[in-house]
Copies of this chain bind each other. A is one copy, B any other.
Amino acid sequence: MFEGNSALGFCMVLAIILFTTKALGLIFRKLGLPQVLGYIIAGLLVGPAIFGLAGVSLIGFEGESYKSFLVMPKENALSIFSKIGVLFLMFSTGLETNLKELKSTGLVAVLIACAGVAVPLVLGLLISLPFGNIGLGTANIYRCIFIGTILTATSVAITVSVLKELGKVNTKLGTTIVSAAIIDDVIGIVLLSIVTGIAKSGSGENLTGFAWFKAQWWGTAIMIVAFFVVAILAGWGISKLFKWMDNRWPTTHRIPVFAIAVCLLYSWVAEEIFGVADITGAFLAGVVLSTDIRASRYTDQKVEVNTYTMFAPVFFANIGISSITFKGLNPNILLFAVCAVLVGLIGKIIGCGSVCKAFKYNWRESAIGGVGMMARGEVALIVTAAVTNTSLGEHALPSEFMIMTVLLILVSSILTPVFLKLLYGKNKGLPIGGAPETAVPQAEPNAEATAEPAGRTEDNSVNDSQ
């Protein structure tokens, strides 16, 4: 009826997305679930996924059988707003990754993170192999690796809010979980860069010069390393420049504006020049700029305003509008999704929990360590969006698998608080986590780390000012 991709028509699309995501996000928060799930449901409601089956849709696409209030072409501006949303989310994550703090993190957190990535990755890969009937299996080994990669990303927002409620967030175990989740992000992003980079490399037929070089697996590997080297070297200069700007003109508009430009530039250079995922570029830009504490905090505040008032709601709603479809839903995919969710949850508990046990935490504390790392959130969606991207060609995961990620977030968000409370509740009054009897040998994360969680939680669900 109305055009949804004209400048003003798109403003109306934005208005609808903002109203519905915020309303459903708040309802979900009331229910103790992550706001992002509310955002995705909002997308399902305003897009064609549900009402399109009944022949109508608030926001819909050209050439479909349903009638839409706002009609958009398949290629529309939502993709640009989504892209900026995901880049800003990763940029914020990078800005909040304080390198100095990470250096002082104990060995146990690093190992928990490594095991928490490795075990779900391998289990996810293995569970995908029998599912050749839905486009996975050995013939599509890259997609199986992608499934594993999706299962690696921890989100501690819910864990932190439960630990806060129980007064356990500042215990040794609590801070270790939070540190491990930060390192988890860094490992996850490096892993994603490698697997998507390798998947993009092809035979190099019909290519010449630089394009041919990038299409070789060794060329891809060289480019990935080269990107990290260039990004960090250039970042050294850029961070010096920012320190200088911040000393000369502290808390002025120019700082976040230049920072945002650097984030977008890094993202573009990563993908277009080096063939590395754009979100890696955005994340590294954040890490590079995080070295100046005052400038990075000020920038992060401004970027977050952009993110939560505009771009992130579109990113998550667009998952519901453009990626998820129930038309001819494949029961095999649903079966697989259930298996993958189980494997994803068990993988974290086994991986992270056994490292805790190896470091002389008792059984219950080890279980808390595993369950605390089990929750998934935004980053799982971001990784899924990256591996379903059509730029990966034939290796791209079909967007139907988004439903697996949504299910993983939903189930893990419901189970994590229940399990954590059960594990703590059984021994109320006993000192757990960092208690004197658990003589953990490595250095204690410094006190500052405990101040971070609220800022670090990607969906801000522990932040009251929503």
The residues of A with any CB-CB pair to B shorter than 8 Å are: 2, 7-12, 14-15, 18-19, 22, 26, 77, 79-80, 82-84, 87, 251-254, 256-258, 260-262, 264-265, 267-268, 271-272, 278, 302-303, 305-306, 308-310, 313, 460, 464-466
A281 to B175 Cα, complex, angstroms: 49
Contact call A278/B8, Cβ cutoff below 8 A: yes
Chain B residues, Cβ within 8 Å of A26: 254
Given contacts A10-B80, A80-B7, A84-B11, A19 and B258 within 8 Å (CB-CB): yes
Contact call B79/A7, Cβ cutoff below 8 A: yes
Contact call A260/B302, Cβ cutoff below 8 A: no
A267 to B12 Cα, complex, angstroms: 8
Chain B residues, Cβ within 8 Å of A268: 8-9, 11-12, 15
A303 to B10 Cα, complex, angstroms: 18
Contact call A466/B8, Cβ cutoff below 8 A: no
Contact call B260/A464, Cβ cutoff below 8 A: no
> Which chain B residue shows the least CB distance to A463?
B253
Partner of A464, one of B14, B82, B252, B272: B252
A278 to B10 Cα, complex, angstroms: 13
Contact call A12/B264, Cβ cutoff below 8 A: yes
State how many angstroms separate the Cβ of A438 from the closest Cβ of chain B. 39
Partner of A306, one of B12, B261, B271, B306: B306
Contact call A254/B8, Cβ cutoff below 8 A: no
State how many angstroms separate the Cβ of A172 from the closest Cβ of chain B. 33
Contact call B308/A253, Cβ cutoff below 8 A: yes
Chain B residues, Cβ within 8 Å of A272: 2, 8-9, 12
> Which chain B residue shows the least CB distance to A22?
B257
State how many angstroms separate the Cβ of A330 from the closest Cβ of chain B. 28
State how many angstroms separate the Cβ of A23 from the closest Cβ of chain B. 9
Partner of A11, one of B267, B309, B313: B267
Identify 9 new A-B residue pairs, CB closer than 8 A, beyond the known A8-B267, A22-B254. Answer: A12-B264, A12-B265, A14-B261, A19-B258, A22-B258, A22-B261, A253-B466, A254-B466, A257-B309
> Which chain B residue shows the least CB distance to A282?
B11
A22 to B260 Cα, complex, angstroms: 12
Chain B residues, Cβ within 8 Å of A305: 302, 305-306
Chain B residues, Cβ within 8 Å of A83: 7-8, 10-11
Contact call A309/B253, Cβ cutoff below 8 A: yes
* A26, A257, A260, A262, most chain B CB atoms within 10 A: A257
State how many angstroms separate the Cβ of A311 from the closest Cβ of chain B. 9
State how many angstroms separate the Cβ of A209 from the closest Cβ of chain B. 15
Chain B residues, Cβ within 8 Å of A9: 268, 272
A2 to B2 Cα, complex, angstroms: 32
A26 to B248 Cα, complex, angstroms: 14
Chain B residues, Cβ within 8 Å of A19: 258, 261, 265
State how many angstroms separate the Cβ of A150 from the closest Cβ of chain B. 21
Given contacts A8-B267, A267-B8, A310 and B254 within 8 Å (CB-CB): no
* A7, A83, A308, most chain B CB atoms within 10 A: A7
Contact call A271/B8, Cβ cutoff below 8 A: yes
State how many angstroms separate the Cβ of A42 from the closest Cβ of chain B. 12
- What are 25 A-to-B residue pairs whose CB atoms are below 8 Å? A2-B272, A7-B79, A8-B83, A8-B267, A9-B268, A9-B272, A12-B264, A12-B272, A14-B84, A15-B262, A15-B268, A18-B257, A18-B261, A22-B258, A26-B254, A80-B80, A252-B464, A253-B308, A253-B309, A253-B465, A257-B308, A260-B309, A303-B309, A305-B306, A306-B306
